[in-house]
């Protein structure tokens, strides 16, 4: 019986999901995998992420830890605002997202961008790694890329299938509370589980292209990951638990730099 319900729920869910096609620039830039068909509709993923983000902001604000250093918040926001408009090349919907950029006053070396464009940067990332503007653009670009490529949505879909498959059936049969609880649990997992290697590589590549188009030196992605590796010698940064390093990361970034350097030179010339 449950098999029949789940199969039916799946067919409804799949029918509801529109296939977003990543717009690939023809003339220059990187090539990444197109998003696969995913179980949870994008609007639902973004809505759940927005709720979780709001709760996180409220918790930080109640402890006086939200956007405490005005100059730092302005710097982080200015960099993100230059990167964001270029995201539409990889996800047409991103132009309609309610983007937000906030800084948590925490010593953790961490940052993320939740589905739907909800960016959080931790003070420890900026200060402990002494990031330049180009390096900050590299890490924020990488985070934005995860959201544009809907990696959180993919992880939420996986988490739902693996852990809460029965609640999923309930969700599609109108038992809203069970469905909402399952989704919120999956959303939690989506920001705490490690990304896969293919997600990491794609986020690296889209990240350097966003940076280059926004006029930030994409070669800073290399020094960013070198700093991250150096910082992981004692207590590994929280960032690396969700963004696992691998030996080829820097090599893959370097191999792709020639595809985005012309974009950087163009945008740097335009800015002069
Ligand atoms: Zn990542």
39-85 pLDDT, tens digit per residue, is: 778 888 899 899 999 999 999 999 999 999 999 999 999 999 999 99
26 CA to middle of ligand 1, Å? 25
Query: What was the pLDDT predicted at 169?
Result: 52
Query: What was the pLDDT predicted at 8?
Result: 40
Catalytic-residue membership of 143: yes
% pLDDT > 70, the chain: 78
Query: What was the pLDDT predicted at 176?
Result: 56
186 CA to middle of ligand 1, Å? 18
179 CA to middle of ligand 1, Å? 28
Distance CA 268, CA 254 (A): 20
Query: What was the pLDDT predicted at 219?
Result: 98
Of 91 and 7, the structure prediction assigns the larger pLDDT to 91
Distance CA 99, CA 94 (A): 9
Q: Do 145 and 203 contact (CB within 8 A), yes or no?
A: yes
Of 92 and 272, the structure prediction assigns the larger pLDDT to 92
164 CA to middle of ligand 1, Å? 25
194 CA to middle of ligand 1, Å? 8
Query: What was the pLDDT predicted at 272?
Result: 77
**Residues 143, 158, 200, 209: which is the catalytic one?**
143
Label residue 9 by pLDDT band (50, 70, 90): very low
Query: What was the pLDDT predicted at 175?
Result: 47
108-154 pLDDT, tens digit per residue, is: 999 999 999 999 999 999 999 999 999 999 999 999 999 999 998 88
Q: How high does pLDDT run on average in the chain?
A: 84
Query: Nearest 5°: phi and psi at 13?
Result: -60, -45
223-256 pLDDT, tens digit per residue, is: 999 999 999 887 788 888 888 877 789 999 999 9
CB contact burial 170-191 (16+ within 10 A = b; e otherwise): bbbeeeeebbeebbebbbebbb
Range with top average pLDDT, 22-36, 153-167, 187-201, 213-227: 213-227
Label residue 267 by pLDDT band (50, 70, 90): very high
Half-sphere exposure of residue 195, counting CA atoms within 13 Å on the CB side? Answer: 29
Label residue 12 by pLDDT band (50, 70, 90): very low
Domain ranges of the chain: 2-14+43-271
Label residue 171 by pLDDT band (50, 70, 90): low
The stretch 14-41 carries a mean pLDDT of 61
Query: What was the pLDDT predicted at 163?
Result: 61
146 CA to middle of ligand 1, Å? 7
Query: What was the pLDDT predicted at 167?
Result: 56
Q: What is the DSSP string of 197-266?
A: HHHHHHHHHHHHHHHHHTT--TTHHHHHHHHHHHHTTSSPPHHHHHS---TTHHHHHHHHHHHHHHHHHH
Query: Nearest 5°: phi and psi at 90?
Result: -110, -15
């Amino acid at each position: 019986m449950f098999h029949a319900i789940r199969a039916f729920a799946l067919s409804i869910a799949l029918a509801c999901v529109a296939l977003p096609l990543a717009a690939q620039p023809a003339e220059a830039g990187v090539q990444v995998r197109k998003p696969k068909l995913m179980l949870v509709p994008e609007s639902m993923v973004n809505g759940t992420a927005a709720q979780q983000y709001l709760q996180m902001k409220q918790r930080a604000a109640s402890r006086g830890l939200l956007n405490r250093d005005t100059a730092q918040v302005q710097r982080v926001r200015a960099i993100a605002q230059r990167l964001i408009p270029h995201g539409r090349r990889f996800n047409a919907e991103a132009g309609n997202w309610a983007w937000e950029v906030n800084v948590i006053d925490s010593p953790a070396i961490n940052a993320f961008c939740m589905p739907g464009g909800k960016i959080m940067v931790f003070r420890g990332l900026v200060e402990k790694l002494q990031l330049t503007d180009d390096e900050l653009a590299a890490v924020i670009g990488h985070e934005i890329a995860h959201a544009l490529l809907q990696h959180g949505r993919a992880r939420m879909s996986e988490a739902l299938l693996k852990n809460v498959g029965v609640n999923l059936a309930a969700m599609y049969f109108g038992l809203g509370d069970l469905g909402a609880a399952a989704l919120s649990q999956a959303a939690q997992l989506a920001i705490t589980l490690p990304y896969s290697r293919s997600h990491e590589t794609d986020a690296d590549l889209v990240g350097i292209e966003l940076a280059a188009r926004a006029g930030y030196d994409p070669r800073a992605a290399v020094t960013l990951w070198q700093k991250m590796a150096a910082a992981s010698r004692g207590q590994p940064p929280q960032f690396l638990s969700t963004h696992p390093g691998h030996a080829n990361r820097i090599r893959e970034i370097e191999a792709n730099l020639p595809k985005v350097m012309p974009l950087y030179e163009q945008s740097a010339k335009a800015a002069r």
